[in-house]
Amino acid sequence: MTKTLYDKLVDAHKVCDLPDGDMLIYVDFHIMNEYTSPQAFSGMESKGLKVWRPEAHLSVVDHVNATRSVEAPDAQSKLLIDNLEKNCITHEIAFYGLGDLRQGIEHVIVPEQGLVVPGMLIACGDSHTTTYGAFGALGFGIGTSEVEHVLATQTLRYKRMKTMRVTIEGETTLGVTAKDIIMKVVQVVGAGGANGFAVEFAGSAIRALGMAGRMTVCNMAVELGARAALIAADEITEAALKDHPHSGQFVFKGESWASDPESVFDEEFTISGTNIEPLITWGTSPDQSISITANVPSALDYVSPKAKMALERSLQYMGLTEGQSAQSIKIDTAFIGSCTNSRIEDLREAAKILEGRQVAKGVEAIVVPGSAMTRMKAEAEGLRGIFEAAGFEWRPEAGCSMCLAMNDDIAMDGERVASSTNRNFEGRQGRGARTHLMSPAMVAAAAVTGHLVDVRNFR
């Protein structure tokens, strides 16, 4: 019987079927952060429960901490961080706190530490846990009650999802990155178009990506509504696992962590990689994107009244006009960071654009490496010098930073941000903040010109 990669992973972790049609699955590895775990530990304490397998959990500080220095931005944030550390000491769980050389954004440091390998099932109280699908592993976000359950039992109640395959076939052109690929997929499938699905990415454009690019694709699959995103494990996966602190655990275990050739998916999409251009979002949903050479949509581009209303609301919030050229949009801030695009590969691509150039007058430019190890590697390669010479502020501490308004990096009302992050919702980066998603290289190009611009002009 042929199986998809998703079905192989679920079957490999199924403990038993439950009477209501759900199943119990085993979790190989569980990650926590300071923001989503406090209630789970409180629930454990009220029930007198202990963590069943402390070695199968990791806690990190990344959401609420400041990135200018090794501290929390306020008393409430410090309380969250201190509470997590206390709980980890009590339950003997590994804790990567502020000042630890392993600290960083959870979905950056786990691969960096070699803690994800093909065939694993990983859970975390964060929706972008889909990132680990880049390794042929099953990763998904869970809620607070589920965090408590996995701490106590190492298992979760689970409902099998439908499967979708998105094939991107054809070589992409110069200037097109993994960020552009996944933004195109979100544009085509739609935000919420993959609700209830596990999405597998396939095709020559996906196979050509390195691991950093594959992680970007799987990370943003959640913007489709997908609760799981997968890419088949191959020789690129195996090579990427070498020379990491824990990479000795890597084995394929005799399994082929890829879909069988004749596998049948519930839904399929095919996109031409050669037709993808550098993209930017113009609205307040990740699927509201256009090519950097295009114009902001107008009501004439839509048929349904609902779509026209969504257009009007997004344009009003974003302060844009129908038919406006994408490259006429001026920015106030350029931000490079987040679990989507803060790896060493992302910093290298942005630095290529910035070398020998200057950030435009009036633009605030910030770069936050995704982990302490990424920062040290970037500094050793001279990337910090390039960013700072161009006029970027180089943040010394890792964290989610301006990806979300949960720390001291908050955009002001009306402030327009060229951002390498994953979401452009209303208020995501601050009340009234206007977010345009794009690749790190595109952010760098926008910082230099002071407006959104085609990065291909800088090559």
Domains and CATH numbers, the chain: 5-268 (3.30.499.10), 279-458 (3.30.499.10)
Q: Taking 80 as the threshold, does the pLDDT of residue 247 lie above it? A: no
pLDDT score recorded for residue 95: 97
Q: pTM higher than 0.95, yes or no? A: yes
pLDDT score recorded for residue 459: 74
Nearest to 9 by CA among 170, 153, 150, 137: 137
pLDDT score recorded for residue 249: 57
pLDDT score recorded for residue 248: 55
Q: Which ranges of 263-402 does DSSP label H, i.e. alpha helix?
A: 305-318, 344-354, 372-380, 383-390
Mean pLDDT of 229-235: 96
Q: Taking 60 as the threshold, does the pLDDT of residue 252 lie above it? A: no
pLDDT score recorded for residue 290: 98
- State what percent of residues in the chain have pLDDT above 70: 98
pLDDT score recorded for residue 242: 83
String of b and e for 341-363 (b: at least 16 CB within 10 Å)? bbbbbbbbbbbebbeebebbeeb
Q: Taking 60 as the threshold, does the pLDDT of residue 62 lie above it? A: yes
Tell me the average pLDDT of the chain: 95
pLDDT score recorded for residue 85: 96
Q: Taking 90 as the threshold, does the pLDDT of residue 255 lie above it? A: no
pLDDT digits (tens, 9 = 90+) for 261-309: 999 999 999 999 999 999 999 999 999 999 999 999 999 999 899 999 9
Q: Taking 60 as the threshold, does the pLDDT of residue 254 lie above it? A: no
Q: Which of 98-112, 135-149, 242-256, 270-284 has the lowest mean pLDDT?
A: 242-256
pLDDT score recorded for residue 349: 98
Q: Taking 80 as the threshold, does the pLDDT of residue 98 lie above it? A: yes
Q: How many CB atoms lie within 10 A of CB 143?
A: 12
Mean pLDDT of 439-456: 98
Rounded CA gap, 444 and 296, in Å? 21
pLDDT score recorded for residue 432: 98
Q: Taking 60 as the threshold, does the pLDDT of residue 208 lie above it? A: yes
pLDDT score recorded for residue 1: 85
Q: Taking 90 as the threshold, does the pLDDT of residue 442 lie above it? A: yes
The dihedrals phi and psi of 412, each to the nearest 5 degrees, come to -85, 165
pLDDT score recorded for residue 244: 76
Question: Encoding tokens for residue 261?
Answer: 């050739």
- State what percent of residues in the chain have pLDDT above 90: 92
pLDDT digits (tens, 9 = 90+) for 138-181: 999 999 999 999 999 999 999 999 999 999 999 999 999 999 99
Q: Where are the beta strands (DSSP E) in 42-111?
A: 57-60, 94-96
pLDDT score recorded for residue 256: 85
pLDDT digits (tens, 9 = 90+) for 379-414: 999 999 999 999 999 999 999 999 999 999 999 999
Question: Encoding tokens for residue 284?
Answer: 């307040």
pLDDT band for 251, please (50, 70, 90 cuts): low
Nearest to 271 by CA among 212, 210, 323, 217: 217
pLDDT score recorded for residue 107: 98
- Beta-carbon contacts of 350 under 8 Å, excluding residues fewer than 6 positions away, are 336, 367, 387, 440, 441, 443, 444
